[in-house]
Structure 1
Amino acid sequence: MITLPEVETVQGTWAVRDVRLVVRRLLDAAGDPGLRPVLVAVDGRSGSGKSTIAGRIAALVPGSVVVHTDDVAWEESFFDWDALMAAHVLAPAREGAAVTYRPPAWDRLGRSGAIEVPAGSTLVLVEGVGAGRASLADHYDATVWVLSDEDERRRRGVERDVVLGRTPDEAADFWDRWQSEEYPFLADDRPWERATVVSCGTPGLTGLAPSDEDVVVLTSRT
């Protein structure tokens, strides 16, 4: 059984679906985008499995690009980065223009590279906590909300930060600090209510057993 925050209420029955059907639903939501890419937000709480699902979707659509909100938010506020994302990534991408963007902190702190969306991209997936927030919703054609068990999210998040070099105590402290901002932000914004598709990032806890070609989704949303 999946344990969720009290504020996060979703309706429907979990079911196994071929991931290609989910991709088709997302692309169909865009209608005919013309010469621009389809723009999809992949949102969910930290450690929910957003990057995994975004990667699986991208692998099925040639010309896809995944943009991570963590790159725009790097060395910025946890959640006060939406204006940067809108102006420098989503708006030009929606016009079909190439994106090569270095957020202010990248220049200030000497981070190399850039966030890039090549011209001619077919699908842009913006992945991260807050990707589908209300202030950015008009830029997207569709949104995926990835819902996962609370305890498993925490285990993943702490384990990920230990791999990145934090001690277990440091990773746990960072997780708690992040959650202290994530919870009120999401409770206020409620992006799951705008989702085109609600997917499960901890499918084993639903009692279902999807294959490598499947995802678990709420049938009321698909």
Structure 2
Amino acid sequence: MKNNHSFYNLKESAQSIVLTINQGLKDRNRPLVVSFDGGSGSGKSTLASEVASSVEATIIHCDDFFAVEIPDHEWDIYSVEKKCRLCIDWERVRAEALLPILAGEKAEYHPFSFSTMNGLSSEVVGLEPSKVIILDGIYSSHWLSDLTNLTILVDVAPDIRRNRHNLREGTEDREWHLRWDSVEDYYFTVLRSPDSFDLVVVNE
């Protein structure tokens, strides 16, 4: 699909996305995969949750699959392209979450955790099959494009988005911004510009 619609109100956005999803489900015998993409602090998780509650969707939180095998100091010597490509373990997303659900099976995986030695929580996340699967995560619309049916960008001016990120984290988070801001800028200018998405939500 080509982007023809932009929305400037979250309630209107959620309603329009639900309508688009329901239209996409007509005469469909496979789950519909919807990507909610956008930078950190854009509000994509909030919007994804609201939409999911209306269409009984299963949400895959892509941050659960952060690349635990790469230590912090290595990220800082990588190019922006390499950080963009490697920060999420997309093979795990596919193998442990998305493909099982698409096959009508329950998915189970250990999510990322900052507090364990191996970077994985002892908790097991279980996801049930459903007719709608939502990918909640930046970069998902690009790296999972072969399995995605609808792409949604939650777009916010970078300064607003970064301020929201800081408020959420309770800190200025300078180290995070130094490491990842340029990667997000690269992604939304080089790999997935706003006009490449099916729907754009301006969440300001």
TM-score by length of 2: 0.75
Residue in structure 2 matching 1:127, options 128, 136, 145: 136
- The letter of the residue matching 1:97 is E
- 1:75 equivalent to 2:68? Answer yes
1:186 aligned to which of 188, 195, 198:
188
Whether the aligned pair in 2 keeps the contact of 1:30 and 1:142 (CA below 8 Å) is no
Q: Which residue matches 1:208?
A: none
Note the aligned Cα RMSD (angstroms). Answer: 2.8
1:154–1:85 distance in 2 versus 1, CA, 3 Å? same
Residue by residue over 1:127-149, the C-alpha shift from the partner in whole angstroms, topping out at 9 and shown as x without a partner, is 1111211x311211211111112
Q: What 5-or-longer segments of structure 2 have no aligned partner?
A: 71-82
Gaps of 5+ in 1: 1-9, 163-167, 203-222
Give the match for residue 49 of structure 1: 43
Q: Secondary structure at the match of 1:155?
A: helix
Distance change >3 Å, CA 25–CA 50, structure 1 → 2: same
- 2:93 pairs with one of 67, 85, 89: 85
- Measure, in 1, the Cα distance between the counterparts of 2:33 and 2:61: 13
CA displacement 1:98-133 (0-9 Å, x = unmatched): 1112368889345122343213x2322111111211
How many percent of aligned residue pairs carry the same amino acid?
A: 25
Match of 1:199 in 2: 201
Counterpart of 1:37? 31
Over 3 Å counting, the alpha-carbon distance change for 1:192 and 1:111 in structure 2 is same
1:96/1:193 CA distance change after superposition, 3 Å: farther
2:109 is aligned with 1:101? yes
Please give the TM-score of this superposition, normalised by the length of structure 1: 0.70
User: Could you give the per-residue CA deviations for residues 195-219 of structure 1, whole angstroms, max 9, x where no partner exists?
Assistant: 22111121xxxxxxxxxxxxxxxxx
Q: Is the 8 A contact 2:8 2:202 kept in 1?
A: no
Q: Is the 8 A contact 2:6 2:199 kept in 1?
A: no
Match of 2:176 in 1: 174
Give the whole-Å Cα distance in 1 for the aligned partners of 2:148 and 2:117: 28
Instruction: Tell me what 1:155 maps to.
Output: 163
